[in-house]
């Protein structure tokens, strides 16, 4: 199975593609599993799950949370978790909801994780070692860190736009696996990481789309406040 475990829809403040377009793009590209991980929201995951019924793809519901120490992804999460909790409180909440804890882009420029990892190593289910949208040497640092502490590894496109879905993905042996079976293979390290960072034009398009989505988000929010 090909699994892209870091995807955003227009339910993220900086996402620009609907869950339907994200799912259709993944199916067209032969991606077998997507984790929808919108910023602070689970509506996109719910919508994607409903739309994907009967299609050859597994949708894992998730959320990307901005903790006080940095971004944390919870997978198998079906309700919102607030931002601005401590790292440990955020992880605790993910666990209470039966989720998996992923640390995305821990060494990315402007998105560097601010807590000593050694304090939470036992609480991490996996670390993202390839993020297609990351600038600089963050991916290499994450891979070296995962190797040093023998942490399970995942990757994802971090796509905020439909055409970028599947730019980075895990290949896991087996077909029609459940989320639990997928994570069992991740835990064992029985995965292969494929993909590459966005090229220059893809990065320009991604930044433009995200910037436009943020402006639209702020405009809609301001309009609602006036009402």
Q: What is the mean pLDDT of residues 193-209?
A: 76
Q: How far apart are CA 179 and CA 75, in angstroms?
A: 9
C-alpha–C-alpha distance, residues 94 and 89, integer Å: 9
- Read off the pTM: 0.90
pLDDT value of position 136 = 83
pLDDT of residue 202: 73
Which of the two residues, 170 and 203, has the higher pLDDT score?
170
- Give the DSSP letter string of 152-186: -EEEE--BSSGGGTTSEEEE-SSSS--HHHHHHHH
CATH of segment(s) 2-226: 3.20.20.140
Above 70 in pLDDT, residue 181?
A: yes
Q: Is the pLDDT of residue 110 over 80?
A: no
Distance CA 217, CA 173 (A): 40
Indicate whether 161 pLDDT > 60: yes
- pLDDT digits 0-9 by tens, 15-59: 889 999 999 999 999 999 999 999 999 999 999 999 999 999 999
Element (H or E) spanning 128, and its range?
strand 126-131
Residue bearing the bigger pLDDT, 80 or 113: 80
- Please compute the mean of the pLDDT values over residues 62-91 and round it to a whole number: 96
Long-range CB contacts for residues 17-22, cutoff 8 Å, separation at least 24: 17/160, 17/161, 17/162, 18/47, 19/44, 19/45, 19/47, 19/48, 19/51, 20/47, 20/48, 20/51, 21/162, 22/48, 22/159, 22/162, 22/165
């Amino acid at each position: 199975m090909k699994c892209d475990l870091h995807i955003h829809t227009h339910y993220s403040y900086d996402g620009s593609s609907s869950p339907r377009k994200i799912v259709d793009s993944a199916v067209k590209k032969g991606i077998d599993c997507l984790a929808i991980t919108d910023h602070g929201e689970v509506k996109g995951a719910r919508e994607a799950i409903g739309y994907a019924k009967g299609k050859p793809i597994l949708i894992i519901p998730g959320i990307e949370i901005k903790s006080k120490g940095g971004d944390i992804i919870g997978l198998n999460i079906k309700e919102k978790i607030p931002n601005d909790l401590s790292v440990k409180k955020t992880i605790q909440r993910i666990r209470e909801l039966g989720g998996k804890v992923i640390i995305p882009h821990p060494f990315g420029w402007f998105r560097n994780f601010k807590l000593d990892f050694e304090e939470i190593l036992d609480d991490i289910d996996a670390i993202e070692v390839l993020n297609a949208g990351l600038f600089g040497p963050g991916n290499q640092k994450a891979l070296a860190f995962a190797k040093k502490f023998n942490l399970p590894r995942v990757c994802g496109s971090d796509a905020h736009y439909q055409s970028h879905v599947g730019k980075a993905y895990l290949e896991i042996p087996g077909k029609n696996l459940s989320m639990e079976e997928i994570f069992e293979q991740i835990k064992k390290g029985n995965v292969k990481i494929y993909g590459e960072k966005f090229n220059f034009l893809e990065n320009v398009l991604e930044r433009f789309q995200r910037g436009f989505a943020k402006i639209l988000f702020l405009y809609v929010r301001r309009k609602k406040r006036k009402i």
